[in-house]
Every structure is written in C-alpha cells, then in structure tokens.
Structure 1
Amino acid sequence: MSFRAYFYITLYVIVVLILLISFKFTKNEFPIQERSRFTGYLTWHGKLHHFDQESYDTSLWFLIITNGLSSVYAFIWASKKDLPKKVITYIYQENGSRTTAYFFNMLIAYYITFTFISGVALYLLDTGKLFSAFAILHNAFELAMMLLLLQGGKITSNYFYAIMGCYIFLVNLLDIALPWPIDGTWFKAQGLCLDFGFYIVLTRIYKSTREYVEGLTSAQLPLVNEDEHLPFEDDSSISPTIIQHPQQLLLLIFSSAVHIFGNCFSTIFMTDSRSYIVLILSCCITFPINALYIYFDTHCTSVLQSKRILLPDTSVWKIVIIILWSLILSLATIRLSFVFS
C-alpha cells in the first residue's frame, strides 16, 4: 500500500475511535421498554410520542403489500435465462473476466423478498430480539450483494458462504446475549453499516462504468466476446426498450439513498413514532424501485453494442476504507440519536 493509503486508513481509524469514546459522555438513562402487543415480549423502544396505531399499521400493511408484489415480479424478471443476447448485462472485472448479471439480479430479488418477510415480522412481533432473527436476513442479502460484486458478479469462493454464515450467527448471538439497550443499538449500527457500504459500492460501480462508457467511441468499441452482440433471431415479438446505459444503475443508487434516509431518520428521532412511519414508507419506495431495476436490466437494450458493468478496483486498502467510512457514518448516526432523542 502507498503512504496515502496508510494515511487515510490511520485517519479514519482515529475518527472511529473518537466516535466510540464519545459514547461515554452520553446520558445513562434509557426509556422503559414497551411490550409487543401480540407476543408480550419486550421491544427495542420505549413509549413513542405521537403514536397512532392505525396510521402505523396502515403504513406497515402498505409496506407488506408493495414489497410482496415487488418480490413476485422481481423473481419473475430475474429468473429468466433465455434472454436475447443484447438484453443481457455483463459484469466485467478489471482483468477482463466477465459474467452475466443473473446472480446479482437474483440476489436483489431475494433482498426484496426478505424485506417483505421482515415487514410481516415487524407487524406481528414489533422490534426486538425475536424480530431480529427475521430482519437479519434482510441485512444478510445486502452483504451478499456486496460480496458477490467483490468476487466479480458470481460466487467464486467458499469464503462467500463462510462469511455469510459467520455474519448471521454473530449478529444473532450478540442480539441474544447483549442487554437492552446495547442489543438494539448493535443491531441498528450493523444494519446502518451495510446500508452505507452498499451505497458506496453502488456509487463506485456507477462511476467506473460511466467513465468506461464515456471513453468509448464507435472505433474504440471492439467486442472481446462476439456472443455479446447478436441480433434478436428467436422471437420477432421482442421489441426491447433502449436505455442510456449505465443510467439504470442510478435506480439502485437512488433507492439505496432513500433507504438510508429512512433508516437514519428513524434512528436519530427514535422516540417519535412518525420517524418509524418515515422508515416504513421509505421501504415502500426503495424495494419497488429495486424490482424496477431488474425489469430494465432484463428487458432493455442499450445504444451501445452491449451492456457492460465495469467493477472498480477492489484493492484491500480500498475495501478497508469503505468499511471504515461505513462504520464512521453508522456511529455518527447513532451518536446523533442521543442528541435528538
């Protein structure tokens, strides 16, 4: 690693330590936990201000319905394997290796589905230890998408399954073992880390792909793989819409930003029930947009000869910086919650 890499990593580690130390100066009084209306178990929140059960339930059912429908359509669109060649998106690494976006799209579909399941669990259980056993799967598929992209768009190592298994086990173990309010804070913090990390990863991918596409001219667009550029010979009824590649990636970036906004808002203003409604409604926007991305990716072609997503440099030090940035933003959000709640 270069001196610059060491400098930034050291700087960000210091910021993380400062944020962690700052929690020592927070108040030690925490609200009395409310109980779930259906199970009677203790929840991860106290008495909420401005709480309206009907409004809360309405927003939750809106989440369940929109995400349920989105998950169905996402699987229908993502599972198609007999797509015309020019519609298929290829994920490229810097070394030239490539794979289709099939596995990435399938993980997005699973991500939407487990968000739907988390919504049902939230309605029946309320936030708490039992709820986290379901909600962790929502976070796990966020991690899975980042790991998949890190491996070039497909699972190339058993470390993928090892990391996923360890993550799910560790988060659930700490949720079970830690007392209130550390358990809820831990679960929220790790979820925010993944949200911020996913946004950073998507932004880097969009930037690298856009720069690659903008650098191409008609004379500079040789097809390394000839099977990427074939006419629609099979079905004359297929008339794909043309998109401005890679602008469809902005859908994922926008949906990720909306999700982060809702998650941060509900964290910072955790004693106000309206902040939870904001989070729920943000999910009603985020995950249908993710399904829409799958539709565009599997039904649209590009003015270019092929749709290529170029993955950025994934050097170890850059991955470390992404992790540190995610941790800093997560801790800063949690720290703000002690100021406004």
Structure 2
Amino acid sequence: MMKIGGCSAVFLSLLALVLVLLSFVGINPEVPKQAPYRFTGYLSWLPKQEGSDDNMLDAATLFNIITMIIASYYALKWAYNPPTNPKLITHFYSADDNDVASSPTIDFNRVLAIYIVTTLLAGAVLFFVGAGKIWVAVGVFHNASEFIILIMLGSGGKIKSSTFWPILGFYIFIISITCILFKFPYDALWFKGQGLCFDWALIIEFTRIYLTTLHELKHGGANHDDLDELIENEDDSSQHKSIIHHPHQLLLLIFGAFFHLIGNFVFTIFLYSFYA
C-alpha cells in the first residue's frame, strides 16, 4: 500500500471536507440572524436566543479561562525546564524488524504547552469579542497547534521536513482569508468544520498510539525485548515511584482530547439548540 506523508494526509482530509461542503450548494436552509456581541457590537456567529442566560455562558467561559491560565503556567514551566538528568526524560519509541529507536518528547511537550496557551487565548478572545471574524485571527493559531501535534505524532515526535513550516503558514493564511471573505453562515461553518476535523483526528491518533503501544508490548516482534528494556530503564530511572506506568499515561491525552471535543459540541450545538 502506498504510503503518504502526514502533511499530505491532512490536506487530503481538508480537500474531502471542501467537497462535502460543496455538496450543500443550492440548498437554502433557514439561517438564523446574527446578533451583535454585547461587548463590541460586532456581529457574532452565535445568534441571540430568547430565554438564554448569559450568566451561565459567562461563568463557564471564565471558569475555562482561569483553569487554562493555571494549566498554561505549569505546562510552560515543565515543558521549557525539562529534567537535567537525561534518564528522567520520556521518549517516543518505535520498533521495526531491524532496530529499536527512541526520540525524546521534549519538543512534543513544548508543542503541547503552546497548544494549551493558544486554547487559553482563544477562550479569552471569545469572551471579550465573541465568536466571529475577529476571533478567527486567534482561533486559527489554536487549530494550527493541533496541526503541528498531528504531524509530530506521525513523524516520531519531530518535524522532519523543512517544507512543513511553509505549509503551516499557508494553512493559517488560507483559513484566515477565506473566513474574512466568506459571508455568514459559510464563514462559521467553514472554520468550525475544519477545526472539528483536527479535534477528531487528535482523538483518533492518540487512541491509535495507545492501542498500538499496548499491542507492541504484548505481541512485539523481533525487537520486543529491546523495547521492553528501554521502557523499563526509563521507569526505573524515576526518582519517585510511578503511579501511572507506560503506556497508560497516554490515556491523559485521550481524555483531554475527548473533553475538548465534547466542549465544542456543547458550546456549538446543544447550548444554543436548547433555547431554539
């Protein structure tokens, strides 16, 4: 089977999304009217619903911002100050028929920290200016950080191709320009649709890595013993007794991605359809 690069796979997925959206051309559904956001007066993607409680939404958003501030602080602190003892640094492991290799997760951890920060910024800007074209200027970097995570997961924890960064810049440019030019509701549908693709992809990729690692540890090939030895050495090097053993720490990434997706659904669909 022909193998394709991670970047190509992502863009093929986005192309499929565009084709799906084009299939709706000619359909004229009833589109709710935009409402001005109360702080700025700019038209928001989220229509005003009779009977809705702004206090509930504000409380949820502020709680999210506060927790993300705390998470961002510790994520940046831990990611950019890794242990000085190399034995305490976790690794990506890969095993084939010829060799067992490992790659430090330092860069990946830093990208995760940046992802948390961009999530914080997206939430803060959402609170102050509302969901709309201005919010896209920040929200697109949140999606871009998810893009980077997916590519790193597919590349053994490193960005191996120098062409990725121009592709990432092109993605940010295209999403920003199209959302500026598209009229409502196509700008909202386009941005939210491609963003949800990344959210689903993260859950799928984290789950795939977790299940593949479990399978490799139980039914590995010729280098199974070497892989076990690498992991055992890493676990034994910890200064404290571990309460989560490899690879179960990956469940934290799966749960985080899952709740992030659930939050998107609740905010976008259920919260406003409840008052419709």
TM-score range, shorter chain: 0.7 to 0.9
The AA in structure 2 aligned to 1:113 is: V
CA distance in 2, matches of 1:166, 1:209: 33
- Structure 1 residues 268 and 123, CA gap change in structure 2 (3 angstroms): closer
- Residues 226, 250 of structure 1: CA spacing in aligned structure 2 closer, same or farther, 3 A cutoff? closer
Equivalent pair of 2:71/2:116 in contact (CA under 8 Å) = yes
Counting only pairs closer than 5 Å after superposition, residues 93-242 of structure 1 correspond to structure 2 as: 93-94=94-95, 96-215=100-219, 221-222=225-226, 229=233, 238-242=239-243
Q: Could you report, residue by residue, the CA deviation over 1:154-184 in whole angstroms, capped at 9, with x for unpaired residues?
A: 1221122122111111100101110111001
Name 2:58's counterpart in structure 1.
57
Cα 1:255–1:223 change in 2 (3 A) is: closer
Q: How far, CA to CA, are the matches of 2:102 and 2:198 in structure 1?
A: 25
- The AA in structure 1 aligned to 2:102 is R
- Paired letter, 2:188: G
Structure 2: how far apart are the matches of 1:196 and 1:25?
Answer: 28
Residues of 2 paired with 1:256 and 1:125: CA distance?
A: 25
Distance 1:246 1:232, change over 3 A: closer
Structure 1 Cα separation of the partners of residues 18 and 229 of structure 2: 48
- Are residues 86 and 59 of structure 1, via their aligned partners in 2, closer, same or farther at CA, if it must alter by over 3 Å? same
- TM-score (normalised: structure 1): 0.67
| Distance across 2 between alignment mates of 1:171 and 1:184 | 11
In 2, Cα distance between the equivalents of 1:65 and 1:59? 10
In the TM superposition, 1:1-341 aligns within 5 A as 1=1, 20=21, 23-24=24-25, 26-94=27-95, 96-215=100-219, 221-222=225-226, 229=233, 238-269=239-270, 271-272=272-273
Q: Is the 8 A contact 1:44 1:184 kept in 2?
A: yes
Matches of 1:228 and 1:168, distance apart in 2: 41
Shift of 1:71: 0.5
Percent identity of paired positions between Structure 1 and Structure 2: 36
| Number of equivalences | 260
Does the 8 Å contact 2:105/2:157 carry over to 1? yes
State the Cα deviation string for residues 279-300 of structure 1 (Å, max 9, x = none): xxxxxxxxxxxxxxxxxxxxxx
- In 1, distance between residues paired with 2:248 and 2:21? 38
> For the residues of structure 2 that align with 1:89 and 1:99, how far apart are their CA atoms?
8
Q: CA deviation at 1:120?
A: 1.0
AA matched with 2:45: W
| Partner residue in 1 for 2:7 | none
**1:188 partner amino acid:** K
Question: Alignment partner of 1:243: what SS?
Answer: coil
Give the deviation of 1:112 after TM superposition.
Answer: 0.6
Structure 2 residue runs without a partner (length 5+): 3-12
Secondary structure of the residue that 2:92 maps to in structure 1? Answer: strand
Are the aligned partners of 1:49 and 1:272 in contact in 2 as well (CA < 8 Å)? no
SS in 2 for 1:28: coil
| Conserved 8 A contact 1:84-1:232 | no
Rounded to whole Å, the distance in 2 between the matches of 1:75 and 1:251 is: 18
- Distance, in Å, in 1 between the alignment partners of 2:121 and 2:135 is 10
Q: Structure 1 unaligned runs (5+)?
A: 3-11, 275-340
Hey, what's the Cα distance between the residues in 1 that align with 2:39 and 2:154?
Answer: 41
Alpha carbon RMSD of aligned pairs, Å? Answer: 3.2
| 3-state SS in 1 of match to 2:272 | coil
Counterpart residue identity of residue 83, structure 2 = D
Higher relative contact order (CA 8 A, sep 6+): 1
Q: Distance in 1 between matches of 2:240 and 2:270?
A: 48
**Amino acid of the structure 1 residue aligned with 2:248:** Q
